[in-house]
Structure 1
């Protein structure tokens, strides 16, 4: 296997928002950074990104394009479009295999994002990020206080259903996943939420719930909470600990964003919850600064 002769200060696996935010801090400290990116942003299906200060309503693809162009103005950046097959090594001597070549670095940052396991309802996956969402702060305002449906994936969906009346008249579809206890049902009623126990046969139109009892309920948008896990197995390859959260598996990190493997850091959706572009950027910026500090004071 061909080896890259350059040992980078940091290899960042994942070139979306958190990975680029981390890279910016490191590049401005004149550190050599290699970003390896597979080109599949989690929000690639969305046409607008909301809630990010200064960029509210901008196409997320444009956000990513502008960010990459700004990073490429720094001479210590290298960018590789590709998929990481394997990562090995220890602090100060990591190797990353990609496209038949091995690249080395003193530190690794996993900004790999997550995969979304969605409810198995026909028509749902095609509308994910378009008229079916997970974050009301990102998409609720644009529904203009219209009708909103929440599709349960488990008991934690109660919190999503309780919150969404802030943005519109809310119907909570249990969809056979669980039965809320009396206290939860009372709180949902207090919030004005309608509980519907019918099963959803399919999603049609923009965001129509077609039920098995023959009803068709039309909504401005639907929300659900997918089960998440890191988008690639690279963290487990390296021996990083994963933890179970309310939304699924994520990479365990400390306050400095270092994982349980010394020299390996993680940020963004794969290493924190809840998820949004703003929070991913903030998490990445913090991780980048902490990685730089670990290079300056390696024994700290």
Structure 2
């Protein structure tokens, strides 16, 4: 039985494994090799690693684990359940792993608007976070595909990176008078009506077609996906989920502890807005909390054993 099983080998999971390994804990990271940011050319905003390819960041993170009792197993978890003394995790291969504690770092799934031609540009010419990829599309003609109540907010935010912004209202609600004034003041064009299709020129976005047949040239796109935690395989644990206007995440406290004792969560699976760097920090914080929890359990067991030994010695002397 390992001290900790970590499900998910992205920034949160690998950083947690690193901290736990350096704490002399035995750790198994189970990873399906499908990071959320895999479609992106690069990850940004990560000190000393700005511009690194997501899969290269994963490779570097795995390499950091080499000196410690922490290793990565390739596979997809199909179920997780509580057993005496800890947890049991089963993979799609049939392999079974057990541990005293469990850390969930499987991230989330981005549910994009169902518009033909849109998904193929995800992580490339289609972004949702300006802090992650706004620099790469700066000064381009950016089209915002409205999909939620936050369409105007998102539009005004991307205006920081380009003076040429068009909000395609699509399924978003009508802007309020105040919002319309804000859009006008920032020189943002508003086009009403549902979006029917996204056109491409090779790998690049070229235009947005509305249901009325009108076509509007753009060079890049942004939209607000619905974020859904990758946690369906955890139904057997009885974890509590939280639903917000942005999506669904696992409920946890400031250390990452979930509603189930012994189970922690870190990264996008519990914090929908976490960047790669924030996810890594969340993994580290959860690792520290898990180590402290294991230490408390071990200390209590040692104190109890010591008391028994002392009592037995006293009885012998009597």
Q: Which moved more, 1:227-236 or 1:244-253?
A: 227-236
The alignment covers a number of residue pairs equal to 293
Output the CA distance in 1 between the equivalents of 2:225 and 2:169.
14
Aligned to 1:183: 178
Relative to 1, partners in 2 of residues 1:124 and 1:84: Cα closer, same or farther, differing over 3 Å?
same
Deviates more, 1:193-202 or 1:250-259: 193-202
How far, CA to CA, are the matches of 2:171 and 2:79 in structure 1?
Answer: 40
- In structure 1, the partner of 2:275 is 276
Q: Give 3-state SS (helix, strand or coil) of 2:198's partner.
A: strand
Unpaired runs of 5+ residues, structure 2, are 301-318
The structure with more helix, counted as a fraction of residues: 2
Match for residue 264 of structure 1? 263
1:160 aligns with 2:154: yes
Moved more, 38-47 or 267-276: 267-276
1:275 & 1:195 partners in 2: Cα distance? Answer: 30
Tell me how far apart the structure 2 counterparts of residues 82 and 64 of structure 1 sit (CA, whole Å). 15
- The whole-number CA distance in structure 1 between the counterparts of 2:293 and 2:81 is 19
Q: Please list, as runs of the form range in 1=range in 2, the aligned pairs for 1:285-300 lying within 5 A after superposition.
A: 285-298=284-297
TM-score, scaled relative to structure 2:
0.87
After superposition, give the CA deviation of every residue in 1:214-260 in whole Å (9 maximum; x if it has no partner): 33323232111111112231333311110012310000000110001
Query: Which residue in 2 is equivalent to 1:135?
Result: 129
2:103 paired residue number: 109
2:87: which partner in 1?
94
Residue 74 of structure 1 is matched in structure 2 by: 67
Check whether the contact 1:252–1:260 (CA below 8 A) recurs between aligned residues: yes
Q: Deviations over 1:242-299 (max 9, x none)?
A: 0012310000000110001111000111110313212211211211111111111249
Q: 1:126 aligns with which of 107, 115, 120?
A: 120
Q: Which residue of 2 aligns with 1:20?
A: 14
Question: Which of structures 1 and 2 has the bigger CA Rg?
Answer: 2
TM-score of the superposed pair, with normalisation by structure 1: 0.92
> CA-to-partner distance for each residue in 1:80-121, whole Å, 9 max, x for gaps?
101111111068411111121221111100101111111000
- CA shift digits 1:117-141 (9 cap, x unpaired): 1100001111111110111011111
Q: Paired residue for 1:3?
A: none
**Distance (whole Å) between structure 2 residues aligned to residue 225 and residue 114 of structure 1:** 14
Q: Which runs of 5+ in 1 are unaligned?
A: 1-6
The CA RMSD over aligned residues, in Å, is 1.8
Pair 1:151-2:145 in alignment: yes
Deviation of residue 47 (structure 1)?
A: 1.1
Residues 139-188 of structure 1 deviation map (CA, whole Å, 9 limit, x = unaligned):
11111322111111111222211211000121111113321222222233
Asked whether the equivalents of residues 257 and 265 of structure 2 are also in contact (C-alpha less than 8 Å), the reply is yes
Residue 111 to residue 181, structure 1, CA distance change in 2 (3 Å) = same
Contact 2:86 2:262 in 1 (8 A): no
Contact 2:151 2:172 in 1 (8 A): no
